[in-house]
Amino acid sequence: MKIINFNLLPEVPVSHDQPIKKKVIIPSGDIAGLQFFSHVVMLPNDRTSAHSHKTMYEVFYAESGRVTFNIDGKKFVVKKGDTIIIEPGEVHFQYNPYKHKVSLLYFGIATK
């Protein structure tokens, strides 16, 4: 059993976009198959770089606001209450072209 206090977690850079900060709630290695469980706030005009994960699903849940995902060249607007699942190998990035910040919970699940 483990209890994690979100308010005590440090903010760390997102691995592929250093200016954007996240809080890692559950790190890799704590639960078999779970790569991470994190929270990120994207401010207006924040954008991640395009990338993919060969052996990982990535799941995002929008707690507040809205954000645009680009997955394999197609745009998807994700808003409060939506969940989006990105499959292994899909090239993706997300950006916030809106006037308000967006809050996302997200996690990765290994396929191997």
The per-residue pLDDT for range 80-99, each reduced to its tens digit, is: 999 999 999 999 999 999 99
Identify whether the C-beta of residue 37 lies closer than 8 Å to the C-beta of residue 25: yes
* Residue 1 located in a structural domain: no
Can you tell me the distance from the alpha carbon of 40 to that of 38, in angstroms, rounded to the nearest whole number?
7
Distances (CA, A) of 103 to 13, 58, 68: 15, 16, 13
* Residue 16 located in a structural domain: yes
* Residue 21 located in a structural domain: yes
Can you tell me the distance from the alpha carbon of 42 to that of 55, in angstroms, rounded to the nearest whole number?
25
Can you tell me the distance from the alpha carbon of 53 to that of 65, in angstroms, rounded to the nearest whole number?
25
* Residue 96 located in a structural domain: yes
Tell me: pLDDT of 17 over 80: no
User: How many other C-beta atoms can be found within 10 angstroms of the C-beta atom of residue 23?
Assistant: 17
pLDDT at 15: 81
Domain coverage including residue 104? 6-110
Instruction: Check which CATH number belongs to the domain holding 94 and give it.
Output: 2.60.120.10
| Count of the separate structural domains present in the chain | 1
* Residue 66 located in a structural domain: yes
- The model's confidence at residue 16, banded by pLDDT at 50, 70 and 90, is confident
For the full predicted model, state whether its pTM sits above 0.75.
yes
